[in-house]
Structure 1
């Protein structure tokens, strides 16, 4: 391109490029680049001029050439597909009439911060440094699928509003980032796709607002982040999809608002997560799916658990904060079937681990009561009897109360009306207390039951005491056996 063909604004940019100097067309630092369509020729630069500079622009000896431009209106399309650009590209506070294309390009640095663009096409781009889109505003799709950035990708307070987009408005699927995905305050009116992305640092979506009601707002299946994934105070309207993610650090959903009524709000199944924090926020609107996930520390407050959860084969080493069993048990009742493993997991990770045996017994008792609902009528009847008498063996003190009451009743009745002896000459002296104990305790004999034989309803009472004693003894032995086997 001949320099004589350039406008005064373009000539200024051309001369500044060789030395890496910055050109700023802004009248004030707080002007809005959204008004760029009205900017005149004094601050208008053709994209073909920028392309010519980046591919074959002048350079000064001893200086680093760079395109550093602010406050410009860029006409035409900046097309650098498959190009190799060895110079930093900084186009801040600019207004683009057409979406730039960096498909398959190799760049040293790309900075489009605070600019207004109709979209961005940068599939498979490679940036040897950082890619900055801080506070940029897009009215179309941002395509970065398969991008490779050796440094960080910055999307702080970036806004993407693409109501007519036929697909995800932000595409980062299969992207590889050598550092962080730094996007606090990101606003995306559509699906954000991170499927298969690999991030060597942290995925920071603090205060982000992601909206695709009725669909998937954040699609991050098999995401691999080597540090944390942070969505503190984020608002996600639609499904948060994390199936198969690998997050050795923390998945932080503290103070987050997850809403997908009628569907799944959070699907983090088949994941491996160091710490999962779901706390200090409103109740999740929609289902919570943590099936087959492995978590070291599950920080889950009962207040945020929704009405429907799927926890099949969820394993965790510890559950915090410490809550009474009565506050944890409703979570296990919200699934679609009886899953004994959930009760065992809660007992081991939340209560036995810290020595809270009372809470552990409460969970085991709840497990038996839930199981009872799956049994036929005769099993349920026997279960109710075990529950009332000794709490399935987890309430042994209750058995002592029943035995003491029956002993007192039997001793009183038989003390007032002694049963006749079978062999008066050989029978020992009658003792109503030990006679009743003989009836109640099947494995102990004081010689009273064999020596005396009641008549009429007193005999019926003896049968009741014998049967009741067997029931109590059986349930107590069952409970003791269960308790010993858990130790």
Structure 2
């Protein structure tokens, strides 16, 4: 317990102001002298022991009737550790443009609104803290903690398993833990929004796995300058939120992870830059099994690393010319619609002349052969009423699959493709039939065959004879009634019979394949 006589002049001023919640401002009014970065040089007239702040917050000077007590301090140099671990703090704390000698410890604490803006802090430990109100660190510089028993990686701002009933405001903050975790907030439960805008910059990974963010995550224009130890710049695995906004200049120099995230409204990367890890060994965006309503991937430039959407489900996907890198993992990716910008508006990306070719090139960026991306794309075209485009997609799927088959199966596949387009182009069979019929009619019509039995059977008709050779089922009475003394013509007849069987088999196989798939 402190005695009033043992307090310094600024501490007495703070002590007297606390019961009425009055603000104590120790700043000089000269901007260059009041910057928190230079607080180490501030003298005794601007120095307050952190222990005095703790004592006031824990009831050392009781509030007066008719007033709301609170600690409001600006421009102070706080010496010692601001240790509120496990404490129950019933008063709000406002600190502005302050310089902290040591870290802030809120481990397991229960506090009211906590505002530390424009300040320099060597780390904040708030593991399992309960903040009834807002946590405001706008414009503050938070550096890595010397050590933390709950994070095995060097951390600057620790909010793991914390609960904040209001908002978490990090606009304009600079949080630095190069090679470590700039923000460690796994299991964070928010009731308000989390904002990281207005010049927010970090060095190290921002970790929010399993976080509950019903008020949304807003990182428009944020700069994630360097990744953490695993190459990730932002981790939101299994996080739940309404809106995730990474737009308008958002930069991630490392992987953005959204594995299993659940986003009830929109996820936007409009005009963002996803650079991925510098060594190129990780993806720029890893979002397998993610669920979202609306996803905007109209990036400012093409991601340098892969985009992984395996097993993801979105209602609407909005993409553009810079959305997709050379490698895109799409197996299991389900979407309700795909839109593009056209005349300043979002419109379905169907009906355009290059739509199918563009989307097939997109699918082929996925390593290996997977049937699901083709089936998903075909289903989208069918839903939009473009059945011809759907058939083109399914034909492309068969051609892609063919490259993975043994040689004999590839030969049969080429035959199915050439004759009936794997059943998706049955009119090709008619083209082949017409061509072979014309060939046979012209060749056989220029020569005279020999009847098998003279004086019996119908007169020779080149057209009917050719059709009789090509159609293996039934008979028109011409094939068995005539033969050719010329061996070349007889071999042509045999060839047409064989081609008739091949063509019929291909038609049956192709149509059966389509019917079974449907």
Same-fold status (TM-score > 0.5): yes
Residue 373 of structure 2 corresponds to 342
Residue range with higher mean Cα deviation, 188-197 or 20-29 = 20-29
**1:374-417 Cα shifts (integer Å, max 9, x gaps):** 22111111111222233222223333322222222211111111
Residue range with higher mean Cα deviation, 413-422 or 3-12 = 3-12
Q: Deviation of residue 29 (structure 1)?
A: 7.8
**1:423-444 Cα shifts (integer Å, max 9, x gaps):** 2312222221222122222336
Q: How far apart, CA to CA, are the structure 1 residues paired with 2:406 and 2:517?
A: 27
2:284 aligned with 1:280: no
Residue 181 of structure 1 corresponds to 194
Q: For 1:101, which of 97, 102, 105 is the aligned residue?
A: 105
2:185 aligned with 1:172: yes
Q: For 1:154, which of 164, 169, 190 is the aligned residue?
A: 169
2:213 aligned with 1:196: no
Q: How far apart, CA to CA, are the structure 2 residues paired with 1:298 and 1:449?
A: 60
Residue range with higher mean Cα deviation, 17-26 or 105-114 = 17-26
**1:209-261 Cα shifts (integer Å, max 9, x gaps):** 22217612112222122x11221242111222222222222222222222232
Unaligned runs of 5+ in 2: 145-155, 341-348
**1:34-66 Cα shifts (integer Å, max 9, x gaps):** 122222222222212212221122422101011
SS in 2 for 1:304: coil
Q: How far apart, CA to CA, are the structure 1 residues paired with 2:108 and 2:422?
A: 67
2:24 aligned with 1:23: yes
SS in 2 for 1:142: strand
2:288 aligned with 1:263: no
Q: For 1:126, which of 130, 146, 149 is the aligned residue?
A: 130
Residue 254 of structure 2 corresponds to 238
Q: How far apart, CA to CA, are the structure 2 residues paired with 1:162 and 1:231?
A: 21
**1:100-123 Cα shifts (integer Å, max 9, x gaps):** 111111111100111111111111
Q: For 1:421, which of 438, 444, 451 is the aligned residue?
A: 451
Q: How far apart, CA to CA, are the structure 1 residues paired with 2:75 and 2:469?
A: 99
Residue 244 of structure 2 corresponds to 229
Q: How far apart, CA to CA, are the structure 2 residues paired with 1:215 and 1:205?
A: 19
Q: How far apart, CA to CA, are the structure 2 residues paired with 1:415 and 1:173?
A: 84
TM-score by length of 1: 0.93
Q: For 2:115, which of 111, 115, 118 is the aligned residue?
A: 111
Q: Deviation of residue 190 (structure 1)?
A: 0.5
SS in 2 for 1:472: helix
Q: Deviation of residue 94 (structure 1)?
A: 1.2
| Residues 93 and 252 (structure 1), Cα distance of their counterparts in 2 relative to 1, 3 Å cut | same
Q: For 2:43, which of 40, 59, 75 is the aligned residue?
A: 40
Q: How far apart, CA to CA, are the structure 2 residues paired with 1:139 and 1:338?
A: 47
SS in 2 for 1:161: strand
SS in 1 for 2:91: strand
RMSD: 2.1
**1:436-457 Cα shifts (integer Å, max 9, x gaps):** 1222223364332222212311
Decide whether the 8 Å contact of 1:302 with 1:331 is kept in 2.
no
TM-score by length of 2: 0.88
| Residues 168 and 424 (structure 1), Cα distance of their counterparts in 2 relative to 1, 3 Å cut | same
Residue range with higher mean Cα deviation, 308-317 or 169-178 = 308-317
Q: Deviation of residue 370 (structure 1)?
A: 1.3
Decide whether the 8 Å contact of 2:423 with 2:511 is kept in 1.
yes
Residue range with higher mean Cα deviation, 111-120 or 391-400 = 391-400
| Residues 162 and 228 (structure 1), Cα distance of their counterparts in 2 relative to 1, 3 Å cut | same
Q: Deviation of residue 302 (structure 1)?
A: 6.3
Residue 504 of structure 2 corresponds to 473
Residue 135 of structure 1 corresponds to 139
Decide whether the 8 Å contact of 2:415 with 2:506 is kept in 1.
no
Residue 81 of structure 2 corresponds to 77
Q: How far apart, CA to CA, are the structure 2 residues paired with 1:391 and 1:222?
A: 43
Q: For 2:483, which of 453, 457, 464 is the aligned residue?
A: 453
Decide whether the 8 Å contact of 1:302 with 1:327 is kept in 2.
no
| Residues 173 and 310 (structure 1), Cα distance of their counterparts in 2 relative to 1, 3 Å cut | same
Q: How far apart, CA to CA, are the structure 2 residues paired with 1:314 and 1:278?
A: 15
2:429 aligned with 1:399: yes
Residue 13 of structure 2 corresponds to 12
| Residues 46 and 175 (structure 1), Cα distance of their counterparts in 2 relative to 1, 3 Å cut | same
| Residues 419 and 36 (structure 1), Cα distance of their counterparts in 2 relative to 1, 3 Å cut | same
2:219 aligned with 1:205: yes
Residue range with higher mean Cα deviation, 237-246 or 134-143 = 237-246
Decide whether the 8 Å contact of 2:273 with 2:299 is kept in 1.
no
Count, aligned residues: 483
Q: Deviation of residue 483 (structure 1)?
A: 4.2
Q: For 1:383, which of 405, 413, 418 is the aligned residue?
A: 413
SS in 2 for 1:170: strand
SS in 1 for 2:499: helix
Unaligned runs of 5+ in 1: none
